[in-house]
Chain A
Amino acid sequence: MKVKVKLYTILKKYAKGKILGDGSIILKKGATLQGLTSDYLAIPDSIGVVFLVNNTPQDKDYTLCEGDEVKIFSLICGG
Chain B
Amino acid sequence: MNNILNYASNQLRISLSDTSYKLERIPEKVLQNYLGGVGYAVKVLYEELNEGIDPLAPDNKIIFATGPLTSYQVPGGGSIEICFKSPLTKAWGESRCGGDFGPELKKAGYDFLIVEGKSTQPVYLFIHDNKIEFKDASHLLGKKVSEKHSIIREELQDQDISIMCIGMAGENLVSIASVMSEDRAAGRGGAGAVMGSKNLIAVAVKGSGKLQPKKTEDFNIALKEVRKVLKESEFVKGLRQFGTIGDMAGNDAAGDWPTKNWQSNSWGKAEKLYDHYLKHNFVKNKMCYKGCPIACGRVAKVEEGRFKTPQHEGAEYESVSAFTAFVFNQDMDAAIYSTYLCNELGIDTISAGAVIAFAMECYEYKLLSKEDADGLDLSWGNPEVLPILVDKIAQREGLGNLLADGVARAAQKIGPQAEEYAVHGKGLEGPAHDPRSGKLLAVTYGTANRGMCHIHPLEGMAYDSGKVTWGMTSYGVPDPNQLDRWDEEGKGTITKTLQDGLIMPDVLGVCKFFMYAGLTLEHYAKLLSALTGWQVNGADLIRIGERINNLQRLFNIREGMGRKNDLLHERVRKLPQFGLYQKEDRCAIKDYEGMLEEYYQARGWDSQTGIPKQKKLRELGLNLV
Binding site for B on A (CB under 8 A): 8-10, 45-48, 50-52, 55-57, 71, 73-79
Contacts and interface: CB of A to CB of B under 8 A. Distances in A.
Most interface-central of A9, A47, A52 (chain B CB within 10 A): A9
Contacts of B246: 9, 76
B253 interface: yes
Nearest to A44: B234
Given A47-B234, A50-B465, A52-B580, A78 B254 contact: no
B317 interface: yes
Contacts, number: 91
B222 to A, nearest CB: 23
Given A9-B242, A52-B580, A56-B580, A75 B237 contact: no
B571 interface: no
Interface stretch (B42-50, B78-86, B454-462): B454-462
Contact of B318 (A47, A56, A79): A79
A50 to B, nearest CB: 4
A43 to B, nearest CB: 10
B580 A75 contact: no
B250 A52 contact: no
A47 B255 CA distance: 17
Which of A47, A51, A74 is packed against the most chain B CB atoms within 10 Å? A74
Given A9-B242, A10-B237, A55-B580, A77 B462 contact: yes
Contacts of B242: 9-10, 76
A8 B458 CA distance: 21
B295 to A, nearest CB: 12
A76 B255 contact: no
A73 B253 contact: yes
Contacts of A71: 253
A23 to B, nearest CB: 15
Contact of B468 (A52, A57, A73, A77): A77
B449 interface: no
B254 A73 contact: yes
B417 interface: no
Contact of A55 (B268, B432, B466, B480): B268
Contacts of A51: 253
B108 to A, nearest CB: 30
Q: How large is the interface on B (under 10, 10 to 19, 20 to 34, 35 or more residues)?
A: 35 or more
29 contacts: A9-B238, A9-B247, A10-B237, A10-B238, A10-B241, A45-B481, A47-B234, A47-B467, A48-B465, A48-B467, A48-B468, A48-B480, A56-B580, A57-B253, A73-B254, A74-B238, A75-B247, A75-B250, A75-B461, A75-B465, A76-B238, A77-B462, A77-B468, A77-B516, A78-B513, A79-B247, A79-B317, A79-B318, A79-B432
Contacts of B119: none
**10 closest Cβ pairs, A-B complex:** A79-B244, A79-B317, A73-B250, A48-B467, A10-B238, A48-B466, A77-B466, A77-B462, A78-B244, A75-B466
B349 to A, nearest CB: 11
A56 B246 CA distance: 21
Given A52-B253, A77-B458, A78-B244, A46 B467 contact: yes
Contacts of B235: 76-77
Interface string B287-302: 0000000001000000
A8 B245 CA distance: 13
B307 interface: no
Contacts of A78: 239, 243-244, 247, 296, 317, 513, 516
B371 interface: no
A79 B296 CA distance: 10
B249 interface: yes
A77 B580 contact: no
A79 B243 CA distance: 9
B326 to A, nearest CB: 14
A48 B467 CA distance: 5
Nearest to B244: A79
Contacts of B66: none
Contacts of B18: none
Contacts of B454: 79
Contacts of A46: 467
Counting chain B CB atoms within 10 Å of each CB, the highest count among A45, A73, A75, A76 belongs to A76
Interface in B580-610: 580-581, 584
A48 B466 CA distance: 4
B506 interface: no
Given A55-B580, A74-B238, A77-B247, 16 more contacts: A10-B241, A48-B466, A48-B467, A50-B250, A57-B255, A73-B249, A73-B254, A75-B251, A75-B461, A75-B462, A76-B235, A76-B242, A77-B458, A77-B461, A78-B513, A79-B244
A50 B254 contact: yes
B467 A9 contact: no
A50 B237 CA distance: 20
B250 A45 contact: no
A74 B249 CA distance: 9
A66 to B, nearest CB: 23
Contact of A10 (B234, B458, B462): B234
Given A46-B467, A79-B316, A57 B250 contact: no
Given A9-B242, A48-B467, A74 B318 contact: no
Given A9-B246, A48-B466, A55-B580, A75 B296 contact: no
A9 B465 CA distance: 16
A77 B518 CA distance: 13
Contacts of B254: 50, 57, 73, 75
B344 to A, nearest CB: 20
Contacts of B316: 79
Nearest to B246: A9
Contacts of B268: 55
Contacts of A45: 467, 481
B351 to A, nearest CB: 15
B454 to A, nearest CB: 7
A76 B584 contact: no
